[in-house]
Every structure is written in structure tokens, then in C-alpha cells.
A and B are shown apart, each in its own frame.
Chain A
Amino acid sequence: MDINVRIAGAAGQGVETTGELLVEAFAGLGLYVFSTQSYMSRVRGGLNWFDIRIGERELFSGREKADLLVALTPEALELLSEGVAEGGLVVFNGEGQEGVVGIAFEEVAKELTGSKIMGNTVAAGAVFSLLGYDVGELESRLRARFERKGAEVVEGNMRCARRGAELAAGHTGTLRAPEGGDAPTGICSGNEAVGLGAATAGVKLVTSYPMTPSTGVFTFLASVADEYGIVVEQAEDEIAAINMVCGATYAGVPAMTTTSGGGFALMVEGLALAGMLELPAFVFLGQRPGPATGLPTRTGQQDLKFAINAGHGEFPRAIFAPGTPQQCYELTRRALETAHRFQTPAILMSDQFLADVRTNCRGLDTSCRPIDRCIVEEPGADYVRYAVTADGVSPRALPGSEAFVAVDSDEHGEDGHITEDLAARVRLQDKRMRKLEGMTVEALAPEWYGPGDAEYVLLAWGSTYGPCREAVDLLGGRGESVAMLHFAQVWPIHAAPVRSLLASGGESPGEGRRVISVEGNATGQFASVLRGLGILEECRLMLRYDGMPFTGEEIARRVKP
């Protein structure tokens, strides 16, 4: 069993702070937690909410309805009461009314501490009490969180939490909360996991222009820069960012940039430069709905074909699309390794939903284990940067060594110097593109979840992993035969094994199974990519592009109404 707690209010009211505090405190009780955020593109006002789903088993998706709504503003109460599940509870920051428990969080805080700033803590105490949890766990979180601000702040928060719990006592109603167990107590968001993956893989230069929803990776890396020895620089624009990454990787340092669709559009020429110069440039692309500025704080998966095709001319690139924070951590490392092994750019695609998800993560290793940069230590005197080889990968030396290293955005000979010799052009282009063959063979196989003989197959990529997986479980529980095939690497794709996987039970690709591509865009981009690779013929599309994430419930309903 699981329940969903929704904290809602205006921007600037501490919705996120309260949510993060509760997530940590629930995890401290050994509960599984999965939190998502919905916020508007503004610093003050509006209506934001923070959902925390808690359960006794691992959770992978948000839920549509709330079992407990904490409304910090009248607007939140008015607009979100409808979204409360049957038997659920509503707590309002003010006067109580029928079916609504009234606790004036900010006034209570003001009475106790002289300031309304700790109103959030009163609310957190009330939530703990309504769910029947020991407020002691919340208190220990508060102590850890506010210790460096002094005893007075810690004591004030404690009093606020206890008072919130007292005021809520006796209002529990029929709400039954899951019991704490042995879930991993470590919590990580998608963006933090990407940042930790990069820092531990040995990224030493990060240069970005801030853009939602990618900024969390940039700020995480800034927060650990001194610890891991990373130079973090805010670039004047995204064009500068990607070109700085190209310069740094040429000189031998693992480097990356973080951006979203609009910024990535500016980086496209630089991405082609990395392709031509054969540099392991790494880009984190946090998607949000476009075109243009679109919906800056919402989610979507609309840049897949853009990423696959970004850059003029043709060059190999690897694109990863993790589905969980744990995968964000692991695949960031894998993307950097792939980029260095094949000397070509790699992109990690996430989106606002996954960026902001906070959930239990199993012991992410924080020690620095630098990836192999694949550098030749002693290049000879006759070294050339682009020696033609069987697999297309040329020995990589660095400037400053015994060899002269020349690279050119113009077509070049093996020595890296500009050429207009058309035979050399073909030789070098073939060399570059040969790398794609090795990358394809080594591409991550998609993950199958559910019965092997399933009648329905949900195709998923990136952040729809969790919602699709949960839909498989929900439908399976009702006796339906449904599985998921999730792609955590979306380019290149090794087509043959996937083709036979989907075709099993039928003569031609896709026959015998009902394939549904679940995507956060309006055109079914991933299905189109798979069709282009001859993996699929026809399939049903299940699309969502209103800026909100899929839930498992929604997918289950749309598979079988």
C-alpha cells in the first residue's frame, strides 16, 4: 500500500523546502519515497505543489490523486481539493471548515518563535502526526538540517514541529499510512545523480549557461567543485559553453556542459565541431516542452529527433536516456566512457520530471574513479592525430606532449591540417563513421520488464521508465498480459536483437504483439526512430504533451480503459 501527500502553495512559500524535509524524514523511517514537483515559471506567487508518495515497496511513479492535501493558500485549497482521493484528508493553512482541518501554520510559528518563517515546520509536524509517524524522526532531521544555524533555530523548529503534531492529533480519520521498513535511507534527485555521476567519473571542467530544468546539475557540481577539484564556470552563452568544452577535451580534460532545448539549439554547431575534431564532449540535455521558450518549468520528451540529428554534416554520437535517478548516476559515467572510447560527443537526455524526482537510491559510490581517457602516453615523433584505423578510432595524444596535435574544423588529412583533397575527405569521413559500427555493437540493450510472452508491449525511453513499469504491475495485477521494453540508450540502437525480441510470436516485425509507444511528445518520435531502423512497422502511440508527466495509473487506463 502507499499514500500520496501533496503540499501546495505559492512560489516563495517554502513548498519545496517542506517537501524535501518530509522526503528525508520519511526515508529516515525506512519508507520508500517518490517525490515529484509541479511549479510555475515564477519566483513569487502562482500555484506550485510537491507530491510525496510513500510506500512499503519500491515506487517508480507519481500518482494523480492525493490522500493528504496540505493547502498553504486559499487558491491551493480551491483548485486542488477535487484531486483528493476518497477517504483523504485536507489540511488548510487557516480556518477549518467542513472536511478541512484548519491549522494556521504561519500564525502558530509566529506565536512560538516570533516569526512566521517556520510555518513550514509546523506543517511538516502536522503531516507526521496525521500519518501516525513518530515526530522524533522529523526532529532528528530538523536537527541535522539546521545545526549550523545555531541552537536557537534548531530549538524553534523542534517546537514548531511538535506543536504542528499536537494540533493535528485526532484528525487522522480513516487514513492508513504505510509502515516504515528497510528502504535505503539515501535520497537522490535525478539531477543530483547526474552531477555525482560526472564528478566521480572525473569531469574536471563544467561550463554552462543556466537553463531550467538542467540547472540543478550545474549547481550540484558547483557545490562539490572544491571537493572533487572541478572548475565550474558560467559561460556568457551556450555557444561559449560547448566551445570551451571542445577546447578542454582537446587538451585532455573530461569536460561537460548542461542545458535544455533552447540552449542546446545554440550548441549545435559546437556539437558538430566535436564530431569533426573527434572530441569526447559531453552534454547534459534536460528537456522541457518547446518549441522556443515553451513551458520552461514543465516536462516533455520532444527533443529526441533533434538530439539524434543535431549538427550539420554527419558524425557519430551516443545518446543515453536514463529512467531513474540510479540510472542517471550510472549512465552519466557510461556516456563519458563511451565519448572517450570512441572520441565523439555523447549526450545524456533527461527532463523536468526526472530532474526533480527524489527517491531512495542504493548507496551511490561517492569516491572518484576516473574513467579511462584513452590517451597514448608516448606518441612518436611521426604522430598524426587522425591515423586511419580499422575501427576508426585514432590514437589520441594531447598538446604539450612530445607530439604536435593539430585539429581542424575544415576537412583535414590524417595530420589534422586543412585539406581540399577529396579522396582524403572520403577516407577521413569513412574513418569517423566507422566508429558508429563499434558504438552500435556496444550499445546498451533495452530492458524488458514483465512477462516474456506479453500481448502488449509498452515501448519506453528515458523518464517514462517508472510510469510504464508501474502500469505493467497495475495491469498485471488485473490479469492483463503487458510488458515494458525500456531504452536507456536511444542512439545508436543495435537493431537486430530488438527486432527479434519484438517479433517473437510473429513473422514480421511487431506482428503477434501489440506495441504501444509511450512518449511525452506529440508525434511519436521514438516510434519513428525505430521504424527508421526497421525495428517496427505499425504501433499504437500513447502521447502526452501538456507539460505534465505520465503516471502509471494513466498509462494503465489508456492501455485498457
Chain B
Amino acid sequence: MTMSKAFFDADIAWCPGCGNFSILRTFEKAVEAAGIDRRKLVLVSGIGQAAKLPHYTQANVFNGLHGRALPAAVGIKLANHELEVVITSGDGDMYGEGGNHLIHNIRRNVGVKAFVHNNQVYGLTKGQASPTSDMGFVTKVQTHGVMSPPFNPLAIAIVEDCSFVARAFAGDPKHLQEMMLAALEHKGGFALLDILQPCPTFNHVNTFKWYRERVKKVDESHDPFDRQKALEVAFKWGEEIPIGIIYRSERASFESLQPVLGKGTLVERPVAGAS
């Protein structure tokens, strides 16, 4: 496996040691493993460090507005559901600015895959708290420490019956690749993959070492179709942080429910219409 030419040509804006490098390398492998034709692959992002990933690989790119990757991705998928549409986003982009779209697109269940690089801090704006920062996390803005408990993306997704919910860790690329592949191969609609990503520059609490001591793969007895159990797993955070496929649901995708889309993609469809 080699990195694409685009990767070496690009002027990469990430800090040395950033968890994003591992995520990018693993993403390249997962795309190869899934056998995806890159010309049919659209990477959609908003704003943030994770959102720059599409520029560092070879694919179609839609780098839109902060927090708005999801609706743009849904628009693309509805226009041409034969495209593989993957969102690369961060915790600020997806869980903060774009929170309303996340809530409603889990319900909508359009087959786009969201890979959320969750570093529990704002990198691009230099170190403020993010929606997933732990209580007490001190920054130049949150000078007395974060006072709101963190957003729990997995629990929210499970409560909303999201069709695919998983978590991985940038420091375990082999497992991360498995999770990415499972998400890419998921056919039942929307997939959320939360990726724990250390930020060596702005987050000196949640480091590679900190995560490595805590992440624990869900064991094989875990049944992702058991919603109550999945919710229990999703609530675990702190001493033990579960990673793996946490929840799955057999739901009809939005596309499969749309009579119009059953006749082909909107972009290719010969225009019928009334005579």
C-alpha cells in the first residue's frame, strides 16, 4: 500500500504527530480494501482540520461550510445514489455547528458515511473546548474548565435508531481500518463512525497514551442489534472506553423508500413528466 500521489503533492496543514495522519493512511487502505472506484467516490467535508482530509487524497471533493457537510452530502447522494459519499468531519463540525443536521439525518437515513475525527478540542481555532471535551478541561476560553458535560454521539445515535454506529481509535489503525471498511460496506443507510483522535498540539490531556490505556474493543459476545446493551456500552467513558461496532439497526434507507429513486438516479434519469 502506497499513499496516493496527491498526498505527497499536497501542502499538508496538519501538525507533526497529529492523529489525522494515521486516519488518512488508514482511510486510503480501507478504500482500496472496499474496492471503491475513486471516480465514484465523493469526499464531503465542512471546516476544521479533519475537513482538510479530502484535499490530501484522490477523489471527488466537496469541501463546503462549517457544520454543513451532512446536508451537502445528502444532496449529492440523492442526486446520484450510485456515488459513494463519505464525510470526513471533526467533533466541532459534526457535533457542534452541525448538530441539528446529525440529529435529523440519523432519522432520514440516507446512505452517506460520516467519519468523525473526534479530538475533543478545536484545533483550527487554536485550542478552545469542543462539544466532546470532558468536564474541567481548561482552555484560553474555558478558563475555569468546561462546565457542560460532553456530548455523547454514540448514545444519541442509538436512541435515534441509527443504522450503523461504531467507534475506533486513531492509535489502532488495524481496528480503525476494520471499522471504516464495515461502515463503507454498510448498505442500510447512514453510518456514524466516531474516531478518537489525539491532538498533540492543543489537547495535552487526551493523548495517545491516555486513550491507549483506556480503549477496549467490545468483545465478541456483544450483539450490536441489542439496543439496550448498545446504550449501556455507549454510556461507558473514562476508565474504559469501548471501541468497535456498538449498534446496528435493520432500517430501510431513505433512497429505498423514495419511489422516484427506484427508477434510477436523478442525474441520469431521462426526464419523464406529464405530456
Contacts and interface: CB of A to CB of B under 8 A. Distances in A.
Contact of A200 (B10, B79, B273): B273
A227 B259 contact: no
A181 B45 CA distance: 60
Interface stretch (A19-27, A79-87, A400-408, A477-485): A400-408
A400 B40 contact: yes
Given A226-B260, A255-B75, A273 B64 contact: yes
Contact of B72 (A247, A399, A418): A247
Nearest to B64: A409
A398 interface: yes
B60 A204 contact: no
Given A368-B271, A418-B63, A236 B104 contact: yes
A407 B63 contact: yes
Contacts of A229: 260, 263, 266, 269, 271-273
B133 to A, nearest CB: 24
A239 B260 contact: no
Interface in A212-264: 224-231, 233, 235-237, 239-241, 243-253, 255
A416 interface: yes
Interface in A242-291: 243-253, 255, 269-270, 273, 277
Given A227-B274, A251-B80, A251-B83, A417 B75 contact: no
B273 A368 contact: yes
A251 B266 CA distance: 10
A409 B60 contact: no
A273 B69 CA distance: 12
Contacts of B272: 227-229, 368
A367 B61 contact: no
A215 B275 CA distance: 26
Contact of A406 (B61, B72, B82, B275): B61
Interface string B77-91: 111101100000000
A255 B65 contact: no
A229 B273 CA distance: 7
A410 interface: yes
Given A229-B272, A244-B72, A400-B39, A418 B52 contact: yes
B58 interface: yes
Contact of A248 (B76, B104, B259, B273): B76
B95 to A, nearest CB: 16
A280 B270 CA distance: 20
A245 B267 contact: no
Given A253-B266, A269-B65, A416-B61, A245 B100 contact: no
B101 interface: yes
B68 A243 contact: yes
Give the interface centre of A240, A398, A401 by most chain B CB atoms within 10 Å: A240
B269 A252 contact: no
A253 B72 contact: no
B2 interface: no
Contacts of B108: 233
B60 A270 contact: no
Contacts of A253: 78-80, 266-267
Contacts of B230: none
Nearest to A237: B100
A200 B80 CA distance: 20
A515 to B, nearest CB: 42
Contact of A417 (B61, B78, B82, B271): B61
21 contacts: A199-B273, A202-B271, A204-B267, A205-B78, A228-B274, A229-B266, A230-B260, A231-B78, A236-B104, A244-B71, A244-B72, A244-B74, A247-B71, A247-B75, A398-B80, A399-B60, A406-B61, A409-B63, A409-B65, A416-B61, A418-B52
Across the A-B interface, give the 4 residue pairs with the lowest CB-CB distance, nearest first: A247-B75, A368-B273, A251-B79, A399-B60
Interface of A: 199-200, 202, 204-205, 207, 224-231, 233, 235-237, 239-241, 243-253, 255, 269-270, 273, 277, 366-368, 370, 398-410, 416-418
